[in-house]
Amino acid sequence: EVQLVESGGGLVQPGRSLKLSCAASGFTFSNHYMAWVRQAPKKGLDWVATISTSGSRTYYPDSVKGRFTISRDNAKSSLYLQMNSLKSEDTATYYCARLAYSSQGVMDAWGQGASVTVSS
Amino acid sequence: DTQMTQSPSLLSASVGDRVTLNCKASQNIYKNLAWYQQKLGEAPKLLIYNVNSLQSDIPSKFSGRESGTDFTLTINSLQPEDVATYFCQQYYRGNTFGAGTKLELK
């Protein structure tokens, strides 16, 4: 069974940093692109970052480029999101998502999410 | 950036109805369109990708179509377990999600 389990969420002050982790199991992690998607309270889905199978290529929307960094450790089947210079508008549930095999966009498995609140 | 516009934002229907949800892309996305279902308090779940390909274990009551930059998700024989918010996503350039259609029972 495919499982994605996020951790590392919490309350953080504006301007500070936080690092999320996602532990993957039940599939060959190194064969899949991975992504982070967030959802602000009672809002829609917002793509945050994507990383290639080897980790050599990363992709971000302008809203987080330069502040967020996605990375992975294939030996540990783990995905990470380093979030710096956090803003109140970054408050959201952050989902780890697996991209379908040979796809860079179709998200065929999702974790349950980690809640991040940016507030003083 | 490619914008995805979903309509309606809220849809009320009865058990057994056939419902159609709409999604319009601001430019050509070359069939790079997926639909997700999100039930209250849960993570999103992939239903359909590449406009009309059904994800494994998803019942055939769900179907997708396209007409240029207009896309539809149809749900046949609506059941209480279909109550959810449905999101479309383009993955042609980056990833953009629509704002969602909340489907409720009358």
B51 touches chain A (CB under 8 A): no
Would strands B101-105 and A45-51 be described as parallel, antiparallel, or unpaired? unpaired
pLDDT at A104 over 90: no
* Cβ separation B97–A45 shorter than 8 A: yes
Mean pLDDT, range B69-98, rounded to an integer = 97
Under 8 Å CB-to-CB from B51, ≥6 apart: which residues? B31, B33, B64, B65, B66, B71
Interfacial B residues in 75-94 facing A (CB < 8 Å): 87, 89, 91-92, 94
What is the spatial distance between Cα A59 and Cα A70, in angstroms, rounded to a whole number? 9
Nearest to A113 among B43, B91, B96 (CB): B43
CA dihedral sign of residues B74, B31, B94, B2: negative
Residue A100 is given by DSSP the state P
Band the pLDDT of A102: cuts 50, 70, 90. Answer: confident
Q: Does B53 touch chain A (CB under 8 A)?
A: no
CA–CA separation, B63 vs B73, rounded Å? 6
Contacts of A104 in chain B (CB under 8 A): 91
Q: What percent of chain A has pLDDT over 70?
A: 100
Residue A38 has pLDDT above 90, yes or no: yes
| Mean pLDDT of all residues in A20-33 | 98
Give the residue carrying structure tokens 């149809």: B74
CA-nearest of A5, A49, A53, A56 to A26 is A5
Other beta carbons within 10 angstroms of residue A111's beta carbon come to: 24
Predicted local distance difference test score (pLDDT) of residue B95: 96
